[in-house]
A = this chain, B = another copy of it.
Amino acid sequence: MKIYRGNIIFTKQKDSFEVFEHGCVAVENGRVVAVAPNMDPWKGQDAEVVDFGDHLLIPAMSDMHVHAPQYRNQAIGMDLELLPWLENYTFPEEAKYADTSYAERMYRRFVRDLWRFGSMRVAAFATIHLDSTRLLMNIFREAGMGAFVGKVDMDRNCPDTLCETVEEAVRGNEALIAEFKDPNALVKPIITPRFIPSCTPPMLKACGELAQKHQLPVQSHLSENTSEIAWVSELEPESRNYGDAYNRYGLFGQTPTIMAHCVWTQGEELELIKRNGVVVAHCPTSNFNLSSGMIPIRTFLDMGVKVGLGSDISGGHDLSMLRMMVYAIQVSKMHYQRDKTKRFLSLSEAFWLATKSGGSFFGKVGSFEPGYEFDALVVDDADLNHSDYSPLHRLERFIYLGDDRQIIHRFCRGQEIPEPRIQ
């Protein structure tokens, strides 16, 4: 057993923080045994104590939606609108991932940067390419970080370089699933139809069958912007709404499912999300950058819809889940400005979204309650703590002002994760 000491902060529930000033968290076999305000519970026991002094000790964060192969395009081309941006930036870049040596150079940097910003669990889109997707999974595995990685499936409305047949898609997925079949592994496959406009009905059907057959989770995009929604209703006239289009193919909560964006989700679609337990990946920076809109998150939370936060590189420009919390609060404040019954997100709610709520997709992850996997960050905020702030004010300043510089240790499943090597 190891006992870590520090200023421990986490959220059991969204409305309040648990704070243990100079407290202790005991960890055994990668999991939290207990949290306590002092060493009393372990008096006389044989435990190694690691004292982080006055540093903050918080759960690591989960990035619920990110496109790994768009890492090179992070923070460029923001002057373009969605369609020319996809044509000029996204698709040509993803096509490069046919080349595994290019993929390795970029994917190693990408994983290193997730590490820098303290995201220890990730739900990532790769590309259609089997070899570079396998490479990304191995890079995560080598790093010791947790990830669901999806080989992207798409067979319409995309350039030839990124099109495949349904048979190719199924074969590629089956190969990865066979290689990464340990259900307890940190890195696992996830079925990833790009989105309805990129997938023919046979492709969607095949994806649903793969998820069902192997009991694998699913990730895709939903109701990101109004033109896209109109397009989907043309492509899938038999579906009652965009979400129903996935649902009809067994891709909407039949196995654990993440749907990114859901900016315009309401009414029947929202009820279906709730009923099926679909997890919404809220990606606020992306929703700003691509002029998508502002998610009505209070409505989602009031209904009990599951929500996590996503960076959505490269629609989003920032890998830091700290920044995602800030943006999520700010989006909620714009709804509150117009309708005072839509209470804005509190700091604890934003923190809970980025840790326990998102983390629940990966198992018992994102909290320090007993039984949770010990995914943690040690934060040395001395440079931000110039005026003797309280632990919660220190956390707030770290969330609003901090960056990778303050994160001095990172743990995933109880192991300290060293800086992943880049090329």
Residues on A close to B: CB < 8 A?
A: 72, 74-79, 106, 109, 225, 285, 288-294, 317-318, 326, 329-330, 333-334, 336-337, 344, 346-347, 386-387, 389, 393, 396-397, 399-401, 403
Cβ B76 vs Cβ A397 within 8 A: yes
- Bound form: Cα–Cα A72–B388 in Å: 10
User: Can you pick out 6 interface pairs between chain A and chain B where the beta carbons lie within 8 Å of each other?
Assistant: A74-B400, A76-B393, A77-B393, A78-B329, A285-B330, A317-B326
Q: Which residues of B contact A386 (CB under 8 A)?
A: 109
A70 to chain B, nearest CB (A): 12
Contact B288 A333 (CB under 8 A): yes
Contact indicator B347/A397 (Cβ below 8 Å): no
| Integer count of this chain's copies in the complex | 2
A295 to B400, CA, bound (A): 22
Chain B residues whose C-beta falls within 8 Å of the C-beta of A337 in the assembled complex = 225, 291-293
Among B225, B318, B396, which residue has its beta carbon within 8 angstroms of that of A76? B396
Residues of B within 8 A of A330 (CB): 285, 288-289
A264, chain B: closest CB distance, angstroms: 11
Are A396 and B78 in touch, CB under 8 angstroms? yes
Smallest Cβ-Cβ distance to A390: which chain B residue: B76
Instruction: Verify A403–B401 contact, CB threshold 8 A.
Output: no
- Report the minimal beta-carbon distance from A354 to chain B, rounded to whole angstroms: 15
Choose among B77, B294, B333, B336 the residue that contacts A334 (Cβ–Cβ < 8 A): B294
Find chain B residues with CB under 8 A from A290 CB: 333
Measured CB to CB, the nearest residue on chain B to A226 is B337
- Chain B residue nearest to A397 (CB atoms) is B75
> Given contacts A109-B386, A387-B72, is CB(A400)–CB(B78) below 8 Å?
yes
CB of A401 within 8 A of CB of B317, answer yes
